[in-house]
Amino acid sequence: MTERRPGQWPVDEPVDLDALGAAEPSFDQLYMQRQKERALHEMVMDSIRHDLEQQPSPVCVLTAARDWCSRITAAAEEIARSKRSAA
C-alpha cells in the first residue's frame, strides 16, 4: 500500500515550524488589537444607547430596540449568506 492518510509518517511536505513561530503576533500587538475591537464595540453600543435615549416614551424605546435587533439580525444573515457563497 503506497497511499498515506493525513497525519501519517513520513510527511511529503513538512511544515517549517520556525517560520510559524515568527508569524505569531507579539503580546503588544494582541493587546492593541483587543483594544481596537473593544473600542469599536463600545462606539457601536454607545450609538445604539444614544438612539434609544432619544426616544420620547418607554414604548418607543422598546420599539426602537426591536428595530435595532431586527436590523442587526438581517445584516448578520446577509453577511453569513455571502460568506457561505464565497466558501
In a domain, 31, yes or no: no
In a domain, 16, yes or no: no
Domain that holds residue 62: 37-86
In a domain, 42, yes or no: yes
In a domain, 61, yes or no: yes
The rounded distance, in Å, linking the Cα atoms of 41 and 21 is 30
Q: Report the number of distinct structural domains present in the chain.
A: 1
**Grouped pLDDT means (10 residues each) for the chain, 87 residues:** 63 71 78 94 95 97 97 96 89
Q: Are 68 and 51 within 8 A, CB to CB? A: yes
In a domain, 80, yes or no: yes
Cell numbers describing residue 44: 457601536
Q: Are 55 and 61 within 8 A, CB to CB? A: yes
In a domain, 48, yes or no: yes
Q: What pLDDT, on the 0 to 100 scale, is given for residue 81?
A: 94
